[in-house]
Structure 1
Amino acid sequence: MTAPTVRTESVGTVVVAGAANLAIAAAKLVAGLISGSAAMLSEAVHSVADTTTEALLYLALRRGARPADARRPFGYGKESYVWAFLAAVFTFVAGAGFAVTHGVTTILVHEHSGDYLVSYVVLAVSFVIESVSLARAARQVRAQSRRWRTTPRRYLRLTADTTVKAVFLEDSAALVGLVLAAAGVALSELTGDELYDGIASILIGVLLLVVAVTLALRNLSLLVGRSVPARLRREIDRELTDLPAVRRVDTLLTMQLGPADILVAAKVDFDDTATGAQIEAAADAAERRLTARYPEIRYVFLDPTRATARDAPPDPSGPAEAGGAPGGTDPD
């Protein structure tokens, strides 16, 4: 097997998002300090959290793409989920925590003093920049969903590429947060009541909380070890069953070792008349056929056995999926 490489498309998506968030964070911070708006300061922290997240995701791509060695024979793919999990935790602690706390403080004690115009300008420019970053992530999602013959929504739910999922969700949340901030600032200016600015800040914090928890749970499930989607599992089973000299596949186990690394292990019942050479040829054909059709499959292990169907564990993929993408079988 060749060593895994850092996927250029995912790296580009992360770099574009990180650069956009860094510029936006500086602009929002200046606007928040000038205007005194709690929602603007929460949005500034939101962008800082997103920038830090992109840096951690970039590190996840680099660290997870290191080739296998004697200490890590299956590679370092799962390490990418560790850094992605830390990114989600940072978003939860720094982003959501500050936004909610600052919003509550604003409602209780803060009095607005400053210019509203600068907030509107920064929010408008930020919306345009975030839209560009989201458009790039959306293009990658659509391209990958077409490749796996599924919908973009299902691809985002099942994919093991947590970097593109994180960028897409964070940019989407950023656009919603900008709308909330604009509404809070506008209502506070119209009514002269800082309640709306504080509420907007709290809502931004809740939004960040939802994104952080969603990403943390997804990365945690991949760290624990998750099988491939149901449809992909059925196709792998079909490829193995169609091999010469194979009677049936008694047990099929799969695991997502990294964003682009899948392990396949199966107990295969060969024809009783199959020779050792035929079994070896079938095993070689299985690896060639599976890796040619699905480059993400990096390891294929076949165990010739006389095991019966009742020895096989229940199908972990649950009910059949209408579509699939690399990265999981959970039906939620």
Structure 2
Amino acid sequence: MTAEGKPARVPEQTPTAGPPLTEPDDHLPAGVAGGSALPAPAEPTSPAGSSDDKGNESVGTVVVAGLANLAIAAAKLVAGMLSGSAAMLSEAAHSLADTVTEVFLFVALRRGTKEPDEEHPFGYGKESFVWAFIAALFTFIGGAGFSIYHGVTTIISGEHSGQFLVSYVVLEVSFLAEGTSFLKAQRQVTGESRRWNISRRRFLRLTSDTTVKAVYFEDAAALIGLILAAAGIALSQITGSELWDGVASIAIGLLLLVVATVLARANVSLLVGRAVPRRMHNQIADDLAGIPVVTAVPTLLTMQLGPGAILVAAKVDFDDEVSGAEIEAASDEAERRLRSRYPGIRYVFLDPTRGRAARDHRDGGVDI
């Protein structure tokens, strides 16, 4: 920020679907937590590590999942109609819901990477969260609702044609197809988590790339759903009671309900304007406070603008004896430090303000 109140200059960049908005993990070197080292990986120097390549990888993950789900939905529907199995029909609804979900996620990837303009100066990153939220709602309504309803009606009516072999064959083929899609999503999650030196679980909790997160959870739920369907059909065949088929259908619906709820909550949080994780917040505060002419950072605000895009705004108390030129130089240094440590930071705004020495805004952000 200049002495006249102008914001620190930030180079123009287009928000892209990139690495997770994350903080240093517990097992990283001590220098990372202390602020002397830069935990963020070096800027990619080859096409394989470019942000466009990461975006293409996410698109590829979504496309593979969508095509697999479409083929599987058709096979399950045929098997469900031939066998009369509630679990198979629920699985058909599950795969159809996942297919439509992939379409929404594909739109999210394309729309979220549009360049900023005068109407949307911070870009269209949050549109990714909108479409991902719609996808979660469709999973909730189209998949979970149908599965639970059909399971209840099957328990009441007890109808089944007894064509078990068809169901088993389709379930086996579906498991192979869903497993292939899940492995691709898992490879992407594993690669990104290793790149940032964090666990897969933490990556999935922290990442703002909601498309990869959705595919990963939906494919995992699909594999579990296939196991539930097979168990329900087998128990129905062994006992001669359609109760187990209906119970399996309800269990599949509840599984989809859990996945949809988790994804919807994550996207709502991002849409509202979620802050960065707490330890990342504290590291940003330390970097700003570590500039020689800065005496305090009384207010620090952050927001995730889209997949891999962060906004930082802070009230900074500069030394009363420094000149306007020194404040400008310090602002440029603050931007350099923050962007070097976290390349996902797209915008930095500093507001010179009065404060008290060493009274920094710490322990903000999301405590996860």
Equivalent residues of 1:250, 1:309 under 8 A apart: no
- Aligned residue among 15, 20, 32 for 1:4: 15
1:1-332 paired onto structure 2 within 5 Å: 1-5=12-16, 7-308=55-356, 315-317=363-365, 329-331=366-368
Percentage of identical aligned residues: 66
**TM-score of the two chains, using structure 1 as the length reference:** 0.92
Letter in 1 for 2:87: A
Between the aligned partners of 1:133 and 1:238, the Cα distance in structure 2 is 42
Unaligned regions of 5+ residues in structure 2, if any? 1-11, 18-54
Aligned length: 320
Unaligned regions of 5+ residues in structure 1, if any? 318-328
Equivalent residues of 2:295, 2:358 under 8 A apart: no
Superposition misfits of 4+ residues, deviation over 6 angstroms: 309-314
Between the aligned partners of 1:137 and 1:217, the Cα distance in structure 2 is 21
Q: Secondary structure at the match of 1:89?
A: helix
Greater mean alpha carbon deviation, residues 117-126 or residues 242-251: 242-251
Equivalent residues of 1:25, 1:48 under 8 A apart: yes
Between the aligned partners of 2:367 and 2:86, the Cα distance in structure 1 is 39
Greater mean alpha carbon deviation, residues 285-294 or residues 35-44: 285-294
CA offsets 1:38-78 (integer angstroms, 9 cap, x no match): 10010000000011111101111111111111111111111
Letter in 2 for 1:117: L
Letter in 1 for 2:249: S
Letter in 1 for 2:321: T
CA offsets 1:82-107 (integer angstroms, 9 cap, x no match): 11111111111110010001011111
Equivalent residues of 2:193, 2:200 under 8 A apart: yes
Q: Secondary structure at the match of 2:348?
A: strand
Letter in 1 for 2:69: N
Equivalent residues of 2:297, 2:360 under 8 A apart: no
Shift in alpha-carbon separation, 1:223–1:330, aligned structure 2, 3 A: farther
Letter in 2 for 1:27: A
Offset of residue 314 of structure 1: 7.2
Letter in 1 for 2:99: T
**TM-score of the two chains, using structure 2 as the length reference:** 0.83
Equivalent residues of 2:314, 2:349 under 8 A apart: yes
Between the aligned partners of 1:237 and 1:146, the Cα distance in structure 2 is 26
Cα RMSD (Å)? 1.8
**Match in the other structure for 2:46:** none
